[in-house]
Chains A and B, each alone.
Chain A
Amino acid sequence: MASKVAVPLALLVIWGVLSNVIDNSFILPSPLSVIYVLAYPWVNILGSGTLLDNALVSLQRVTLGFLAALIVAIPMGICMGRYEIVYHLFDKATAMLRPIPPLAWVPLSLAWLKIGMGSMLFIIAIGAFFPILLNTIDGIRGVKNSWIEAVTMLGARECDLLTRVFLPGAAPTIWTGLRVGFGIAWMCVVAAEMMPGASTGLGYLIMYAYGWGQIQVVMAGMVVIGLIGLAIDLFFKSVEVKWFSWRRLDK
């Protein structure tokens, strides 16, 4: 335990010393002033809403964008993983679109969907889409032939195979895709909230606070972004351990 907190504590101390030496809260505010902001998450900051409200708005957006990505990526990944024809149909197109960073989509998303919720969700969904798609394809392809044939011999049709073999068999890998996808979506939401026209969310809050020279708010916002990301990742991991331990044990 001591070894785990040693580095964060040391960083905090160095930060405190440095902020004292620099003595300019526009460049490096003291840790205490940041902790002070964090300690009162329900207080309205400069008329842009509270830390808590903005965090909830961001969480809502990331969830919606993530769900939109998942609804398309999982069925598409299942079809691409199961049917060679579908794979060849989409393989080249996805391989070309995948390396384009979500932020490169900002101008197009604004042109197509205008300023507001739509364009933000688009950016978030783009970020989450590819990890979910690729892991779903991998997961479906990793389903053992002996499982498929054994269940086929028991009278299963294609839809039985899908629900009883392919989905549960690929679930651990798909879950990994969801975890990675949500992580990227969370990064994208902050970026999307810095787009023109945004007026809520953690990304907006830190840009807004920067405009007012409130660097302690910027840093407090960053801490919240980090903590929420961490909490979500821990959630995904705990489900993995609880539901998908068979993959580790079945060797």
Chain B
Amino acid sequence: MRLEVNHLGKEFPKAKGGTLKILDDITFSSSEEESIGILGPSGCGKTTLLRIIAGLEKPSVGEVLLDGSSVDSPNPKMGMIFQEYSLLPWLTVAENVSIGLEIRKASEEERREKVERYLSLVGLQGVAENHPYELSGGMRQRVAVARSLTLEPAMLLMDEPSAALDSQTRGEIQESIIRLKEATGKTIILVTHSIEEAVFLADRLVILSANPGRIHKIIPVDLKRPRDRASEEFVRLRIQVLNLLSDLAVASKAGR
């Protein structure tokens, strides 16, 4: 699935009147099966950008195209994974995973089959009958991934999927995202503040500057998979992005 973001801008009304520009003239596109990491200093509007791509918010100007057609409301071709786990606590894991299929009125057989398939894809077949509060943060996030996969979206949007996790489970969830990408070939748009995560997962990095969020640079990640976080090229790219982001952070503070 091909995503195009064309001259996208977003303004919010300020409490004291006037408007606050969050995003300005954002243009980029993804090719099929590509994963894009969106990085930027805090306040660059990266989460807002992802929410507009998802159809949860409307842009002030510009448009989002999915295989050429405009997105203005949530689209079943896109699955979203939120920063908070966003599982429904009164349902079991299996019920949470199958809720999209139930809304779509899929047969019971199809639901059972897909719940099983996607729970095992994220390595969680054993906890189907548990409730979310009985699981660790990393497991909950994998349940959320399985839930978004059941509708077989062509594209996955991830909003800082590992931000609420400790470093060990963060690695776990990143590994499952890689496995998922290899198994399904989905386009992934990942918003993160972790440079390591972005370099590890993405094929291309979109670096935003802040106040308002503009595209500063688009960097291809030409590293072979599986990627070794300790390899020289990985570390070099990481440091390059880190320097870029610290310059941007300084610039955005100075600009204020």
Indicate if B144 sits at the interface (CB-CB under 8 A). Answer: yes
CB distance from A154 to the nearest CB of B (A): 3
Given A147-B86, A149-B56, A153-B148, verify A246-B133 contact (CB < 8 Å). Answer: yes
A164 to B86, CA, bound (A): 14
Indicate if B122 sits at the interface (CB-CB under 8 A). Answer: no
A149 to B57, CA, bound (A): 11
Indicate if A233 sits at the interface (CB-CB under 8 A). Answer: no
Q: Of B82, B90, B133, B134, which is within 8 A of A169 by CB?
A: B90
Tally of A-B Cβ pairs under 8 angstroms = 68
Indicate if A160 sits at the interface (CB-CB under 8 A). Answer: yes
Digit string of A145-165 for contact with B (CB within 8 Å is 1, else 0)?
Answer: 011011111111000100011
Let me know if B82 and A146 touch, CB within 8 A.
yes
Q: Point out the residues of chain A lying under 8 angstroms from B104, CB to CB.
A: 155
Let me know if B88 and A153 touch, CB within 8 A.
no
Let me know if A249 and B74 touch, CB within 8 A.
no
Q: Point out the residues of chain A lying under 8 angstroms from B148, CB to CB.
A: 153-154
Digit string of B140-176 for contact with A (CB within 8 Å is 1, else 0)?
Answer: 0000100110010000000000000000000000000
A132 to B86, CA, bound (A): 27
| Minimum CB distance partner of B87 in chain A | A150
Indicate if B123 sits at the interface (CB-CB under 8 A). Answer: no
Given A154-B99, A155-B100, A156-B103, verify A250-B133 contact (CB < 8 Å). Answer: yes
Let me know if B89 and A164 touch, CB within 8 A.
no
A154 to B157, CA, bound (A): 13
| Minimum CB distance partner of A165 in chain B | B88
A244 to B100, CA, bound (A): 23
Q: Point out the residues of chain B lying under 8 angstroms from A144, CB to CB.
A: 84, 86
Residue from A152, A155, A160 whose CB has the most chain B CB atoms within 10 Å: A155
Residue from B74, B84, B90, B151 whose CB has the most chain A CB atoms within 10 Å: B90
Let me know if A153 and B133 touch, CB within 8 A.
no
Q: Point out the residues of chain A lying under 8 angstroms from B132, CB to CB.
A: 250
A165 to B144, CA, bound (A): 16
A168 to B96, CA, bound (A): 13
A96 to B179, CA, bound (A): 60
A246 to B131, CA, bound (A): 8
Given A154-B100, A156-B103, verify A249-B133 contact (CB < 8 Å). Answer: yes
CB distance from A145 to the nearest CB of B (A): 9
Indicate if A247 sits at the interface (CB-CB under 8 A). Answer: yes
Residue from A146, A149, A153 whose CB has the most chain B CB atoms within 10 Å: A153
Q: Point out the residues of chain A lying under 8 angstroms from B102, CB to CB.
A: 164
Q: List 16 A-B contacts (CB under 8 A).
A: A146-B82, A149-B82, A149-B86, A150-B87, A150-B147, A153-B54, A155-B74, A155-B103, A155-B104, A164-B102, A165-B88, A168-B88, A244-B90, A246-B90, A250-B132, A251-B133
A residues bordering B, Cβ < 8 Å? 144, 146-147, 149-156, 160, 164-165, 168-169, 171, 244, 246-247, 249-251
B residues bordering A, Cβ < 8 Å? 54, 56, 74, 76, 78-80, 82, 84, 86-90, 99-100, 102-104, 131-134, 144, 147-148, 151
Instruction: Return the 7 tightest CB-CB contacts between A and B, nearest first.
Output: A154-B100, A250-B89, A150-B86, A146-B86, A249-B133, A153-B80, A246-B89
